[in-house]
Copies of this chain bind each other. A is one copy, B any other.
Amino acid sequence: MSEIANTPEPPYYAVIFSSHRTEGDDGYARMADRMVELASEQPGFLGIEAARESLGITVSYWESLEAIRNWKENAEHREAQRLGYRQWYSSFRVRVARVERDYGI
């Protein structure tokens, strides 16, 4: 169950990952759980939020662009990305953004 990420004062960075899944699991659910666990262990990780209906949206938060780059190049994550391209996603878009301000209740 995803919660609202407890991020620090801006500025920080967000990676917005929007995707449509292919049919069937093919190891996806297990890998998705593992990627959340693995991301959480990376330097500069600040939090993650996820929801899926027909469209899936996962937003991960990071201290810096360098932290995002390191995570993208993580060997186990690269294998997950490869499988994502090949079989799990029919389409996706990754957007890297700098969070300038935030507020809420």
Q: Which residues of A contact B (CB under 8 A)?
A: 1-5, 7, 10, 14, 16, 18-20, 49-57, 59, 85, 89, 91-105
Contact = CB atoms under 8 A, between A and B. Distances in A.
B91 A95 contact: no
Contacts of A104: 91-94
Secondary structure dominating the interface of A = strand
A54 to B, nearest CB: 5
A59 to B, nearest CB: 6
Given A53-B52, A98-B98, A105-B91, A18 B4 contact: yes
A85 to B, nearest CB: 7
Contact of A96 (B20, B59, B96, B102): B102
